[in-house]
Structure 1
Amino acid sequence: MSVISVSNSKGGAGKTTLAMILADQLVENGLSVAVIDADPNGIITKWAAKRAEAGREMPYSVTSQPKEAAMIETIAQLANENDMVIIDLEGTASRMMSRALIRSHLVLVPFNQSPVDAELAA
């Protein structure tokens, strides 16, 4: 019942890709995983829908864009039901991000290899 957030206030840093790869690998290692798609772009949710249309369900559950006020409760519920919860956060600082980070056991901050991106990730 660990919670990992993937966060960076800069968009395009690879948060969603990292969240999906991490979730896939955890499932491959026998853990039950829930992903919270808290990014307004909803890329993980859209990907899950495309896979479902093709008859290939995601190997983990996806909760799409919970309301800000329900974020803490959503994390707690999913953490009780799964071995791991991965939260894909939006690319901007927000209360939603703060609520997720407070409940996280680990925060991963991906960034591109440039001085500007590294500074923005700090």
Structure 2
Amino acid sequence: MDEACTVNLTVKYLTKKWTLLIILELYKGPGHTRRFSELKDSLSDITQKILSERLKELEEEGILTRRVDATSFPVKSEYTLTKSGLELVDVIRGIKMWALKWKIDNIPCGCQDCKVCVL
């Protein structure tokens, strides 16, 4: 596959470990927003370094925005899905529906609404 192919480039950043789970955790937050500490708590096995890296990459790709509140200590960072990020959740939901329909060894999902599902 050509290195400049849109599919190739998109798959490279979306398939990095934790990326899709971070997007889904943001989606579940009020206003599709979560603080860094909330994301870290909900993704218990992720390291702070990896979470920071993935959030920065997703911000650079326009999937989320970051707001920093430096008026208090410690400084608080909030991350919110953009319109692009919200559309990506629809793509993830479509992949989930495909997997539930076609994957033979899949465990049936008890929650079809990704807003409350951990995928």
TM-score (norm 2): 0.30
Higher helix share: 2
Larger Rg: 2
TM-score (norm 1): 0.29
Higher relative contact order (CA 8 A, sep 6+): 1
